[in-house]
Structure 1
C-alpha cells in the first residue's frame, strides 16, 4: 500500500504538507465525482437490464407457446422447445448477472462514496477548523506584548491547546487519507473482479473471447489477494504507529526542531518564523524559512520560488534582539541588510540562532577541508582572525587544536574513532569528527555544545577544561558497560545512521553507563585531577594552562561583615594537602558533584552529571551552597566553566544571599569575576548585609575587580542609552544636537576606561 502522507511531516505543518493535502483533496473530490457518475450509470444499466430481461421472458414465453401451437410439427416443436429452454437458462443467468452487479459494483461503490468519502470530508472539516483556530492562536501569541504577563500567559495557554487539538486532528486526517487510499484500491478492484466473474459465468457463448482475459483475471486475482494481505498488515502497523505518536505530547515544537547538517536534500533546518517587513509599516508575516546551500531563504507556498534573505552565510552574523516589544526575536545581519525574525518560543529562538552559527562554521569548514590539513586550516584561520579584545591577531584556534589533541585519547573521534578530529563538545570535554559533530548538534545544546577547534575562538578557560577531561575519561563513564551490551560501536566508515543511533544511545538514553546504585566509586579521590596528566605536562612544558595559586590572607576582603577566620573556614575547609584523600563513593549524584567541584576532580564531576546530578544542587547543611559556589571558593576557573557549560545558574545564591560573583569578589578571584560577568551575573544582587559585589570590592580595596564591575555596569547603561537613541527620543532637543550627541560623547569618554582592560584574558588576570 502506498502511504500518501507521513505522520511526522504533518506535525511540521509545512507548505510541503499543505500542498500534499491539497493534492489529496483534489484527488478525492475527483474520485467522488467519477464514482457518483459511475454509480448513476450502473443504476441506469441495471434498470435497463431488468427491463430487457422482462421483455425477453415475454419473448421466450411467446416462443414456447408457439412451440406448443406447432407441436404437431415435431421438427419445429422440438426446435422451439429447446431454444426456448436455452434462452430461458440464458435469461436466468442474465438475471443473476444483474443481481451480482447490484451487489458487487453498485452497492460497494455507493457505500464507498457515502461512508468512506463522507468520513474523509468530516475529518477534513475538523482539520480545517483546528487549523484556523491554531492560526488565530499563533497570531495572538505573537502579538502578546512583553510587558503584559497575563496576556502572555493567556496567549501561550491558548496556543498550547490549539496546537494540541490541531496536531491531533492533523494526525487523524493523515490516517484517514492513507486509509481511503487503501480502501479505494481494494473496493474498486473487488467490485471489478466480481463483475468479471459474473460476466464469465453469463457469457457461455463468448467463452472464447473471455479466455483471453482468463490469465489476466487470475493474475489480477492473485495480486488482489496479496494486496489485501499487505494492506491489512500495513493498516495494522499504521494504526499502531498512529496510536504511539498520539500518546506523545505534540503541543510543543521540540520534536520538530531538527538541525541536520548532512541532510540528503541539502536543507539543514526549516520551520516557520515571523519576519518583519522593511517597509514603513513594519508588518510581521509568517513564512517558512530554511537554511540550504549556505543560504537563508523563505517562502509562503511550497511551489513558489524561495526568497533569499542571506546570499552567503559566511558573510553574516546572528544575535538576539531584546529591544523589540515582541518576544523571541533575533536578527540576522549581513553586509547589505539585516532581517529581524521572531520564533514561537525561546527554545526555537535558540535553536535557529545555533543553526545559523553552526551553518556559518560548516560553510567555512567545507571550503577548507578538501585542500588543507587540520593544522593548515588552523594556521589559515588564525592568520586571518582578529582578537576583538586586544585588537591583535589571535591564534586561539591553533592553540586549542594543538593542546586538546595532545591529550591521550583525543587524537581520534570519541564516538567513531576517526583520526585527527577538529571539532569538540565543550560541555562534555571530547573531540569529534565533522560527521559526529553534526549529529551532536542535532541532539540540542542541552546534551552537547559543539565548537570547531580550528574555526572558533577558544578562551583559555575552555582550553583548560578540555585538557582536564578528554575522550578517554569520558568514555570510561559513558561506555562503562559496553562489554555487557551487544551493540557494536561504529567505526569511521560506518553509515551516518549507525553513528547517530550509537550517539543517541550513548548520550541521550545513556545505555552504557553504570546504573545506580551499582555505580562504583570506591577509589578515593584526590583534590586535583590535573595530576593524571602530570607526565604529559612535564614532557611538554607550557602547553596547558596552569592552576592559579590559592588566595592568601593578604587578599582576603576587609569590611565585608565576615572576619578572616570565618572566611577561611568557609572557603578553604576543602583545601587540604594535595596528597589528602577523600572517599566519595556512595554519595548521591548531586552531593558527589558538590564535593568533586571543591576537589576539582573533573572526571568525577562528569560522572555525577552523567548519572543525573542537578548542576544547581543545593547543600542545605553548608549554607545552601551550590557546586558553582564550591568551585568559585577554590578559585577553579575550569571547574566553574565546566559547570556553566552544563547549565549552572550563575545567579543562584546561598542562604545568606551570596551568589558565585559575591564569593569570587570576597576572595579576590579576578578571573572568576570576569567569567561570571561574561555569563550574565547580577552585579546588583545584595546579600543579607545589603552589600552588592561592587560595594564588597570597594570595601576590599580591590581596584581590578572594582574596575571590572563598574565597566560591566557602564556597558549595560550604554546599551540602554543606545536603545533610547534608536527609539527616536533624540528628536527635539535644545540646540539641535539631541541626546544622540550626548550619547556619542559619553561613549568616546568611556572607551578610554574600557581600553584599560583591553588586553586582558581570563587565563591571565591573577598573574
Structure 2
C-alpha cells in the first residue's frame, strides 16, 4: 500500500485513514517478524545441538567398527556408513550457517533498521502534527483588535505548517519505502533459505547415490544373515529343549574324549588333585590332555603345569581303596598323581581317555626307533604298579580274537578298516581307532568306547559283544542304505566324511527301517547256526502242559536243578512262561511300541531284537503298566539272562527302578536265587536298603530263601558301605570276592546254586 505525497500536504481525512491502516499493518508485521526471529534463533540452536549429538553418535559408530575388526563385513559397513553420515551432518551444518547468514542479512536488518527508522519518523510526524494543531487553534482564537498577536499567531502557524509538511513528506517516504521493502526482504530470505535446503538435500542425495550399490549389497547380506539367524535360533531352541530335558545335575556326557580334536586338546575338564606335600590337600584344577601330556591350570592365563611329560611312560588305574570316591591315579616312572572326578562315569571317562591317549601316542610314534623301548618300559612299569595286569596280554589277545571272529567284526563297523582294536560296548560293535574317537565325541548316551587290548573286560561284557556284532547291528542301522543308494565310507575317507556318516547312522538314525525288522523272529535266540528253545516253552506234545498245584515248589526258568522257591517265585516265573507261550515264533510284532518290543525281547533274551527296539527309540526303563509296572530289566532278571541285563544296563537301564510291588532287579534276583545277577547289580550300584511292599529288603529275602551265596554278597556289600561311611578304605577282599563271583556267574553258574537251610536258623 503506497501513499500519495499530495494527499499528505492536504492532511485530508483520507490521508489520516491511510496513515492509521499503515501503522496497524507495520505494527502487526513487526510482531510477526519478531516471533519469526525468535523461532529461527531456536531452530538454529536446536540444529547445532542435533549436529553435535549426531557427531558424537557417528564417533560411537566408529568406535564400534574398531571393536568389530575381526568381522570384515561388519567393520567395513560401519566405517562406510559412518563416513556418509558424517558428510550429511557437515552438509546440515552448512545449511544452518547459510540460514543464519540470510536471516541476519534480511529479517534482522529489516526489523532492527527499517522498522525502527519508520517508528522514529512516526514519532516526529506525530509531534509536528500536534504542533500544527496547536498553532491552528491559537491562530483561530486571536481577536481582531490585537493586531500584534494576530501577526505572531500567523507567523507561528506558517512555521508549524512548514515543519509539518516536511515531516509529513518524510513519513510518507518511509511508509512507501517500508511497504515496498518488506516484500523483497522477506522473499529474499525465503529464497535463500530454500536454496540452502536444496543444496543440502541435493548434496545428500548425491552422497547416498554413491553408496547405492554398496547399500544393495549390504541389504542382501543382511537378508541372508536374518535367514541364517532364524535357522540358528530354531536349532538353538531345539537343542535347548533337548538339553533341558536331560538331568543336567548328573550329565557326565558333557565331558567327552575327542581323539582328533582340531585344537589338539583331546580331553579337558575339572578334577580334584591331591597335593604332594605333607598336608595332602585337595585342589580343584582344570586338567587337559594335549600333545601327549597331562597338564592342568587354575585360570586360563596361568602357565600350564605338566603332570606327565610323556603319556607313553605312564599308566592309569582306579583307586578303589581310597577313602574318597571316584579317585584314580596316574603313575609315571618319576612320580604319581592322585586325582578325583565328580562321578563314577566321569572317572571312567578320564581313565579311558588317558588309556586311549597312551595308545594313540604309541601309534603316532610307531616309526620312532625308541618306540619299542618306550613300550617295553611302559608295560614293565604298569605291571610293577599293578600286579593284576601281568597276565593281561594273553587275556586281551583271547578277547580280541574271540570278538573279531564274529561275522563282520574283522572289519570296522563303520569304515571297514581291517583288524579293529576298539569296541562300543553298548552297541556291541568293533571299531578302528579313528572311528572310536568319533564315537567318543557322540557322548556316552550314544556310544561307550573301550579298547579290546588296553582295557580290562568283564566276562559279561565279552558275552555281550559275542551276542551282537557288526553284522547284526548293521542290519539294523544300515537297513536302507542300498534302497537310498548311499555309499558307505572307506578307510581312506577323511575324518569329516566318517564323522558325518557316523552321526547320520547312530544319532540321526537315517538308515533304519520305519518298523523293527527283527520283531518277526524275536522269540528265537541265535547262537551261530542253531536256535535255542525259549525257557519255559514245553516240547511239542498232544498233552497240555501241567500246571503247578497251589503251595507246591516250582523251579524258575534258568535256575539249575535243585533250586526251588516259594510261591512268589513260582508266580513270577509262571507269568513269564505264560507270556512266552502266548507269543508265536512267527508272530509279527513290528507294530508294537518300541518299549513294549524291548520288554518282550528282554523276556526272550533276544539281544538283536532289543538292539533293534532301542534303535527305534525304546526307553530302557519302559514300564509295562499291565504287568505290575515291570521294566525290561526285571524281565531279563526273571529269565536269568546275565547278558541281557548287562546290555540293558549299558544302555541306560536303572538298576534301582522297582515294580508296583516295590521290588527292584536286586529283589527279583534274590527271590529267584540268581547269584550272578545279584553280583552284577551290586557292582552297578544297586540299593540294598530298599524294601518291597511287604517290608523286606534283599538281605532278609536271601536269608529267608536260605541262599548262602547271595547272603554272603549282600553282607559284604553292606560291610563295604559301612566302612566307606566311616571313612575307612577297607581291603581288597571285597573286590576279590566280587570278581570271583562274576567269573563264576559267567563261566560256571551251576556252582552258585548253593543253599543252606540252616542259614535262617543260625541267623535268627
Q: If the length of structure 2 is used for normalisation, what is the TM-score? A: 0.60
* 2:564 maps to 1:556: yes
For residues 639 and 265 of structure 1, what CA distance do their matches in structure 2 show? 40
Map of 1:181 onto structure 2: 75
Q: What pairs with 1:90-101 in structure 2 (closer than 5 Å)?
A: none
Q: CA deviation at 1:505?
A: 0.7
Post-superposition CA distance 1:56-108 (Å, at most 9, x none): xxxxxxxxxxxxxxxxxxxxxxxxxxxxxxxxxxxxxxxxxxxxxxxxx9999
- TM superposition shift of 1:700: 2.1
1:588 is displaced (CA, Å) by 0.9
When structure 1 is superposed on structure 2, of 359-368 and 692-701 the one drifting more is: 359-368
Contact 1:275–1:339 under 8 Å retained in 2: yes
Partner residue in 1 for 2:294? 296
- Mapped to 2, the partners of 1:430 and 1:675 lie a distance apart of 22
- Could you tell me how far 1:707 is from its partner in structure 2? 1.5
8 Å CA contact retained: 1:557, 1:699: no
Name the structure 2 match of 1:315.
Answer: 315
Q: Secondary structure at the match of 2:294?
A: strand
User: Gaps (5+ residues) in structure 2?
Assistant: 1-50, 89-209, 368-374, 533-555, 752-764
In 2 relative to 1, CA 258–342 (structure 1 residues): closer, same or farther, beyond 3 Å? closer
- Cα displacement (A) at 1:680: 1.0
Q: Secondary structure at the match of 2:306?
A: strand
Q: In the alignment, does 2:759 pair up with 1:763?
A: no
- Tell whether the 8 Å contact from 2:521 to 2:585 is kept in structure 1 after alignment: no
Q: Aligned ranges for residues 187-586 of structure 1 at < 5 Å?
A: 187=81, 236-238=223-225, 240-243=227-230, 244-245=232-233, 247=237, 249=240, 257=255, 259-270=257-268, 288-299=286-297, 305-313=303-311, 314-317=314-317, 333-334=330-331, 336-338=335-337, 340=339, 350=345, 354-367=349-362, 393-394=391-392, 395-485=394-484, 487-515=486-514, 518-520=515-517, 523-530=520-527, 532=529, 550-552=558-560, 554-558=562-566, 562=567, 565-574=570-579, 582-586=587-591
Q: 1:657 aligns with which of 650, 662, 667?
A: 662
Closer, same or farther: CA 323–370 of 1 in aligned 2, 3 Å: closer
1:223-278 CA-to-partner distances (Å, cap 9, x unmatched) read: 99998777666555555545525645398799975532112442113456677877
- Please state how far the C-alpha of 1:178 moved relative to its aligned partner: 6.8
> How much does 1:431 deviate?
0.9
Task: Give the CA deviation at 1:645.
Answer: 0.5
User: How far did 1:758 drift?
Assistant: 9.7
SS at match of 2:750: coil
Matches within 5 A, 1:712-731: 712-721=717-726, 723=727
Query: Take 1:464 and 1:752, find their aligned partners in 2: how far apart are those partners?
Result: 21
Residue by residue over 1:671-710, the C-alpha shift from the partner in whole angstroms, topping out at 9 and shown as x without a partner, is: 1111111111122322222222222222222222222222
Q: Which deviates the most, 424-433 or 748-757?
A: 748-757
Equivalent-residue separation in structure 2 for 1:569 and 1:412 (angstroms): 43
| 677, 700, 720: which one aligns with 2:682 | 677
Structure 1 stretches lacking a partner, 5+ long:
1-104, 122-173, 195-222, 536-547, 726-742
Shift in Å, 1:189: 8.3
User: Does the CA contact (< 8 Å) of 1:382 and 1:393 recur in 2?
Assistant: no
Distance 1:690 1:699 in 2: 13
* Whole-Å separation in 2 of the counterparts to 1:597 and 1:632: 9
**Residues 321, 552 of structure 1: CA spacing in aligned structure 2 closer, same or farther, 3 A cutoff?**
closer
Q: Structure 1 residues 759, 295: closer, same or farther in 2, change over 3 A?
A: same
Instruction: Kindly indicate whether the alpha-carbon contact (under 8 Å) linking 1:112 and 1:187 is maintained by their aligned counterparts in 2.
Output: no
Q: For 2:736 and 2:509, how far apart are their aligned partners in 1?
A: 51
Partner SS, residue 266 of structure 2: strand
Cα distance in 2 between the residues matched to 1:748 and 1:472? 40
What is aligned with 1:137? none
Matched, 1:622 2:622: no
C-alpha distance in 1 between matches for 2:77 and 2:347: 41
How far did 1:591 drift?
0.7
Offset, 1:296: 2.4
User: Which residue does the alignment assign to 1:592?
Assistant: 597
Cα shift at 1:116: 5.3
Deviation at 1:439, TM superposition (A): 0.2
Q: Distance in 2 between matches of 1:113 and 1:588?
A: 64
The answer on whether the counterparts of 2:525 and 2:531 sit within 8 Å (CA) in structure 1 is no
Indicate the larger mover: 280-289 or 240-249.
Answer: 280-289
Between the aligned partners of 2:380 and 2:576, the Cα distance in structure 1 is 40
Cα distance in 1 for residues equivalent to 2:604 and 2:507: 27
Work out whether residues 253 and 443 of structure 2, in 8 Å CA contact, stay in contact via their aligned partners in 1: no
Please state whether the residue corresponding to 1:621 is helix, strand or coil: coil
User: CA 1:470–1:329 in 2, change beyond 3 Å: closer, same or farther?
Assistant: closer
The CA distance in 2 between the partners of 1:597 and 1:553, in whole Å, is 23
1:149-200 CA-to-partner distances (Å, cap 9, x unmatched) read xxxxxxxxxxxxxxxxxxxxxxxxx899777533355458879999xxxxxx
**1:384-418 residue CA offsets vs partner (Å, 9 max, x unmatched):** 86998989724432222111111111111111111
* Equivalent pair of 1:318/1:357 in contact (CA under 8 Å): no
| Contact 2:328–2:347 (Cα < 8 Å) also in 1 | no
> Is the Cα contact below 8 Å between 2:297 and 2:305 reproduced in 1?
yes
Counterpart contact for 1:671–1:766, Cα < 8 Å = no
* TM-score, length-scaled by structure 1: 0.59
Q: 1:757 to 1:463 in 2, by over 3 A?
A: closer
Which has more radius of gyration? 2
Superposed displacement of residue 112, structure 1: 3.5
Q: Which stretch of structure 1 is more off in the superposition, 391-400 or 289-298?
A: 391-400
Alpha-carbon offset, residue 573 of structure 1: 3.4
The CA deviation string for residues 434-479 of structure 1, in whole angstroms up to 9 with x for no partner, is 1110000000000000111111111221111111111111111111
Cα displacement string for residues 578-615 of structure 1 (whole angstroms, at most 9, x for unaligned residues):
99555423211111000011111111111110111111
In structure 2, what is the equivalent of residue 739 of structure 1?
Answer: none
1:381 is displaced (CA, Å) by 7.7
Give the whole-Å Cα distance in 1 for the aligned partners of 2:733 and 2:391: 26
> Against the structure 1 CA distance between its residues 647 and 229, is the aligned structure 2 distance closer, same or farther, given a 3 Å change threshold?
same
For the aligned residue pairs, the C-alpha RMSD in angstroms reads 4.8
Q: For residues 74-93 of structure 1, what are the structure 2 equivalents within 5 Å? A: none
Paired residues for 1:37-76 under 5 Å: none
Secondary structure of the 1:573 match is: helix
Q: Distance in 2 between matches of 1:224 and 1:309?
A: 59
Asked if the contact 1:632–1:663 (Cα under 8 Å) also holds between the matched residues in 2, the reply is: yes
What is the DSSP-based 3-state SS (H/G/I as helix, E as strand, rest coil) of the residue aligned with 1:296? strand
SS of the residue corresponding to residue 492 of structure 2 reads coil
Deviation at 1:656, TM superposition (A): 1.4
Secondary structure of 1:298's match? strand
What is the CA–CA distance in structure 2 between the aligned matches of 1:578 and 1:407, rounded to whole Å?
29
* Cα distance between partner residues in 2 of 1:584 and 1:530: 22
